[in-house]
A and B are shown apart, each in its own frame.
Chain A
Amino acid sequence: MSEWVNGGLQDPAYMAQRIAACEREIQKGIIGQREIIRQVMLAMLTGGNVLLEGMPGLGKTRLVSTIGKVFDLSFKRIQFTPDLMPSDVTGTNIIIKNELGSAFSFERGPIFANLILADEINRATPKTQSALLEAMQEHTVTVGNDSHAIAEPFFVLATQNPIENEGTYPLPEAQLDRFMFKILVHFPGREELKGIVALTEGNQEPVIMKQIDSRGLLAARALVNQIPIADAVMDYLLDIVMDTHAGNPYIKEGASPRAAQALIRATRAKAFLEGRFNVSFQDVKEMAFPVLRHRIILSFDAISEGISEDDVIKELLH
C-alpha cells in the first residue's frame, strides 16, 4: 500500500482536509470576505501572488497576518511610498567590521520572509516596484553580483487603492502579469461590518491556531500540481485564453500564456480545496475572473462605454 494512504503529507485526502481546516481557521480571524480568503488560499496553494484592490481598512493586513499564523509562516509588511528605494525592499551590502577586518555583508531586506504584504504598491516608483519582479517570479534577490534565494513558500500579497491616483505609479503590464490573481475587495455588508466591529473592538481576540506548516503547504502544492484535467476541460480553458485574442472589440491586448498557466493551477487548487481531484468546467468559469481581469487591456471602446474587464470576461465565458 502506498505511503499516502497512511494519512501523511502525501495523502491527498488528508491534505485536502488540512487545507480546508486552514481556511476555516482563517475565517475565525476575518469576518466575511469568504471569497477573498478562498482566493488567497488558492494562490498560496499554487505558489502565486495576489494583488488586492480595494479601499483601506478592509482587513487586508489582518488577513495576511492571520494566514501567517495558520500556516506558521514568517510575515513582513512593506509600506510602499514614493521615497521607498529598491534596497529598502531587497536589502543591501553593508560593511561589517570585526576582528579580522572589514568586509561586505548582505543585510537582508523585508522581502526575505514567507509572506509579504506590499501595501499600496502603486505609491512606490517603478524602480522600486520592479525590485519585486525578480523576487515574485524567481523567488531570488540579486544584489551586486550575488543572488540570494528566498525561503519557500514565498508569497506576495500587494494592495492598491483604486480611487487615489494622484502621486501613484500604476503597475506596468509586465508586473501585473506576475500576479496570479487580482482580487477586488468590496466593502462588507452590514452584518459583516457588525461582526468585524465586534471582533476587533471586543476584549477578546480570537485565538488562531496553526493548522499546517510550510512543509505541509509545499506538500499540498505538489499534490495540487498532479490533479488531472480532462481534455475537454483543458480545451475549454485554452479556448477562453485564446478568445481574448480573437478580435474582441473591447480588448486591446489579450492575456499572455502565463494566464493559461495561472488558470490551470488555479482550477486545480480550487478543485483540491473543494475535495475533488479533477477540474470541472465550473472551476474554469469561476477562476477566469481573478486570473484574467488584470491580464487583458481594454480598448478605448470598452472604456468609453463603461465596460469593465469582468464584463468582457463574462462575455467570453458565454
Chain B
Amino acid sequence: MGQSEFVKVIQNCRQRLNLADFMKKLVSALSIGAGVGILFQAAAFVMPLYYVGLYTGLALILALLAASVAAYAKRTSMEQTALVMDSFGFDERIVTAYGNLEKEGALVALQRADAMNQLQVHQDKIRIALLPPWKKTGSLMGLFAVLIVLALVPSEMKERARELHSVKEEAKEKTEEIQEVVEALEQLEQEEELTPEQQAMLQEMIESLQASQSEYQQVSSNEMMRAATEKLNYRYENMGSQLASLAQSLQNGATVSSVTAESLQALSNKMQEMSGAQLAKGNAGQSGNNGGNGQGSQNGQSGNNGNNGGNGQNGQNGSSGQNGQNGQNGQPGNNGNGGQNGNNGNNDGNGEPGSGRGTGTADTPHDYVSIPNDIADSGNLTGNAVDHDASEYFHAQNGLSWEGTHMSHEAVIGSYEQNAYEGIAAGKYPSGMEEIIKAYFSNFN
C-alpha cells in the first residue's frame, strides 16, 4: 500500500463517517422536528391553526437543515477518522502514521510501513455503520406515525380554522375592493368644481368606507363577516344613490366637467352593482330559508329584510321575531331595528343593538312605534346587555301583542336620536356602527 492509497483509504472512511454522522444527526433532528410537529398538530385541536400543516412541514425542513448544517460544521477530520479506524484494533498505528506522513526518519518510515501493512491486511475489520441504532430509527418512525395520525384526525377546531381562514381571505378581498372605491372617491374629492358641501359628503363616504375596511380587518367569524358585508352593502346603496343624485345635480348645474359627472355616475353604478351583488347573496340565502336550513334562514332573512326594508308584512311575521329571540348574534336584531315593527322587541333581546341595519325606512311611512313595558334587565329578559351576557327573551305572544302603548314615531324619534347620540358619545357602540346610526336617524330629518 502506497502513501496515496493509504490516504485514500482514510478519505473513504472519512466520507463514510461523515455520512453516518449526518444520518445520526438527521434522525435526532427529525425526531425533534416530528416532536414539534406533534405539538403543532395537538395545538390545532385546541386553537384554530389553519397553517398547521405548513408549520409542521417547516419544523421538519428546519430539522433537516439543522442536521445538515451541524453535520457539515462538525464533519470528521482526517485525524479523527484515523483514530476511529485505529479503534478497530490498529493500536493507533494509523493516526500516528497519518500525523507523520510528511516527516522523515528511520523509525517514522518503519512505523508508516507497519501501519500501511496492517491496514492492508486488516482493512476488512473496519466496519462503520451508516444507519443509526434501530431504537432511534424506530422511535423516529413512531413519532412520524403519531404525527400523521394527528394530522388526519378531523376536529371542530380544524374546521373552525378553515372557516376563519376563508373569512380572512374574503375580508382581504373586500378590503382591497373598498380601497379601490376609496381611491376613486379620493380622486373625485380633488375635483375643484365640487362645492365644499359636496366634498364634505365625499369625505364622509370615504370615512364610512374606511370604517368598513377596519371592520373587515377585524372579522373573525362568518357572522362578523356577514354583518360587515351587510353594513357595506347598506353603505354602497346609500352612497350609490347619493353619488347618483350628486352626478345628476352636477350635470344639471353645468358647472363641472362632463368627465367628473361621468365618473360620479360610473362610481354610483358600480356601488349599486356591488350592493346588488351582496343582495343576490342574501336572496340566495333566503332560498335556503325556504328549504328549512337554519343557517341559511338567518342569512336569507337578513338579505330579504335589507332589500324589502319597510315591508310591514315581514316585520309582523312572528317567525322573524323568533329568530331575534335566539339571540345568537346581533344579526336578527338588525332586522328588527330596521323593520320598525314587531321585531323591535327582539332587537333589545339580542343585546347588540349597534350591529344592525334596516332599510325599511326608505319606502314606508313610519306609523307607530311599539314601546314594550320592559326592556333590558326587565323581568322577561335575562342577561345584562351592558356586560354582553347571553340574553334570552321570554314572550308568549308575537310582537304586536306586547303590552304597552303605541304612539307616533315622531313623538319618540327625538328622544331615541338623543339617546343614540349620547351612546355614540359614550362609546357604547362599535366604531363602524356610529355612522350607520347617524345615517339612520338622518333619514327621519
Question: B106: which of A4, A230, A279 is its contact (CB, 8 Å)?
Answer: A4
A278 and B93 contacting across the interface, CB-CB below 8 Å: yes
B110 and A12 contacting across the interface, CB-CB below 8 Å: yes
A228 at the interface (CB under 8 A from B): yes
Q: A226-B105, A280-B91 are in contact. Are A232 and B83 (CB under 8 A)?
A: yes
Q: A12-B106, A278-B97 are in contact. Are A228 and B111 (CB under 8 A)?
A: yes
Question: Which residue on chain B has the smallest CB distance to residue A227?
Answer: B107
B52 at the interface (CB under 8 A from A): no
B110 and A231 contacting across the interface, CB-CB below 8 Å: no
A13 and B110 contacting across the interface, CB-CB below 8 Å: yes
Q: Which B residues are in CB contact (< 8 Å) with A278?
A: 91-93, 96-97, 111, 114-115
B187 to chain A, nearest CB (A): 78
Q: Which of A215-230 contact B (CB under 8 A)?
A: 223, 226-230
A281 at the interface (CB under 8 A from B): yes
Q: A278-B111, A281-B92 are in contact. Are A228 and B100 (CB under 8 A)?
A: yes
A207 to chain B, nearest CB (A): 34
Q: Which B residues are in CB contact (< 8 Å) with A226?
A: 105-108
A279 and B96 contacting across the interface, CB-CB below 8 Å: yes
Q: Which of B114-137 contact A (CB under 8 A)?
A: 114-115
B188 at the interface (CB under 8 A from A): no
Q: Which of A4-47 contact B (CB under 8 A)?
A: 4, 10, 12-13
Question: A228: which of B79, B83, B91, B103 is its contact (CB, 8 Å)?
Answer: B103
- Mark each residue of chain B from 66 to 90: 1 if its CB lies under 8 Å from any CB of chain A, else 0: 0000000000000100010010000
Question: Which residue on chain B has the smallest CB distance to residue A5?
Answer: B106
Interface of B (DSSP majority class): helix
Q: Which A residues are in CB contact (< 8 Å) with B111?
A: 227-228, 276-278
A232 and B105 contacting across the interface, CB-CB below 8 Å: no
Q: Which B residues are in CB contact (< 8 Å) with A228?
A: 96, 99-100, 103, 107-108, 111
Question: Which residue on chain B has the smallest CB distance to residue A275?
Answer: B114
A279 and B92 contacting across the interface, CB-CB below 8 Å: yes
A2 and B92 contacting across the interface, CB-CB below 8 Å: no
B225 at the interface (CB under 8 A from A): no
CA distance A256 to B217 in the complex (A): 77
Q: Which B residues are in CB contact (< 8 Å) with A279?
A: 92, 96
A230 and B107 contacting across the interface, CB-CB below 8 Å: no
B116 to chain A, nearest CB (A): 12
B95 at the interface (CB under 8 A from A): yes
A278 to chain B, nearest CB (A): 4
CA distance A67 to B100 in the complex (A): 35
Q: Which A residues are in CB contact (< 8 Å) with B107?
A: 12, 223, 226-228, 277
Interface of A (DSSP majority class): loop
B114 to chain A, nearest CB (A): 6
A299 at the interface (CB under 8 A from B): no
CA distance A226 to B106 in the complex (A): 9
Question: B96: which of A12, A233, A282 is its contact (CB, 8 Å)?
Answer: A233
Range of interface residues on A (Cβ < 8 Å): 20 to 34
A277 and B110 contacting across the interface, CB-CB below 8 Å: yes
Question: Which residue on chain B has the smallest CB distance to residue A16?
Answer: B110
A231 and B99 contacting across the interface, CB-CB below 8 Å: yes
Most buried by A among B93, B107, B111: B107
Question: B92: which of A4, A12, A13, A280 is its contact (CB, 8 Å)?
Answer: A280
Q: Which B residues are in CB contact (< 8 Å) with A229?
A: 96
B420 to chain A, nearest CB (A): 82
A10 and B106 contacting across the interface, CB-CB below 8 Å: yes
CA distance A33 to B93 in the complex (A): 29
Question: A232: which of B79, B100, B106 is its contact (CB, 8 Å)?
Answer: B79
Q: Which of B10-68 contact A (CB under 8 A)?
A: none
B412 to chain A, nearest CB (A): 92
CA distance A12 to B107 in the complex (A): 7
CA distance A10 to B100 in the complex (A): 20
CA distance A51 to B410 in the complex (A): 124
Most buried by A among B86, B91, B96, B108: B96
Q: Which B residues are in CB contact (< 8 Å) with A223?
A: 107
B205 to chain A, nearest CB (A): 81
A311 to chain B, nearest CB (A): 27
Q: Which B residues are in CB contact (< 8 Å) with A232?
A: 79, 83, 92, 95
B96 and A230 contacting across the interface, CB-CB below 8 Å: yes
Q: Which A residues are in CB contact (< 8 Å) with B92?
A: 230, 232-233, 278-281
Q: Which A residues are in CB contact (< 8 Å) with B106?
A: 2, 4, 10, 12, 226
Question: Which residue on chain A has the smallest CB distance to residue B99?
Answer: A230
Q: Which B residues are in CB contact (< 8 Å) with A233?
A: 92, 95-96
B91 and A282 contacting across the interface, CB-CB below 8 Å: yes
A230 and B110 contacting across the interface, CB-CB below 8 Å: no
Q: Which B residues are in CB contact (< 8 Å) with A282?
A: 91
CA distance A233 to B93 in the complex (A): 11
Q: Which A residues are in CB contact (< 8 Å) with B93?
A: 276, 278, 280
A91 to chain B, nearest CB (A): 39
A276 and B83 contacting across the interface, CB-CB below 8 Å: no
CA distance A282 to B89 in the complex (A): 11
A270 to chain B, nearest CB (A): 11
Question: Which residue on chain B has the smallest CB distance to residue A268?
Answer: B107
Question: Which residue on chain A has the smallest CB distance to residue B105?
Answer: A226
CA distance A282 to B93 in the complex (A): 12
Question: Which residue on chain A has the smallest CB distance to residue B108?
Answer: A228
Question: Which residue on chain B has the smallest CB distance to residue A274?
Answer: B91
Q: Which A residues are in CB contact (< 8 Å) with B91?
A: 276, 278, 280, 282
Question: B79: which of A12, A231, A276 is its contact (CB, 8 Å)?
Answer: A231
A267 to chain B, nearest CB (A): 10
B77 to chain A, nearest CB (A): 11
CA distance A49 to B92 in the complex (A): 28
Q: Which B residues are in CB contact (< 8 Å) with A12?
A: 106-107, 110
Q: Which B residues are in CB contact (< 8 Å) with A280?
A: 86, 91-93
Known: A4-B106, A277-B111, A279-B92. 12 other contacts (CB 8 A): A12-B107, A13-B110, A226-B105, A228-B103, A230-B96, A231-B79, A277-B110, A277-B114, A278-B92, A278-B97, A278-B111, A278-B114
> Hey, which bits of chain B sit against chain A, CB under 8 A?
79, 83, 86, 91-93, 95-97, 99-100, 103, 105-108, 110-111, 114-115
Q: List 11 A-B contacts (CB under 8 A).
A: A2-B106, A4-B106, A10-B106, A226-B105, A230-B99, A232-B83, A233-B95, A276-B111, A276-B114, A278-B92, A280-B93
Across chains A and B, which 5 residue pairs bring their CB atoms closest together, nearest first? Answer: A278-B96, A277-B111, A280-B91, A226-B107, A230-B96
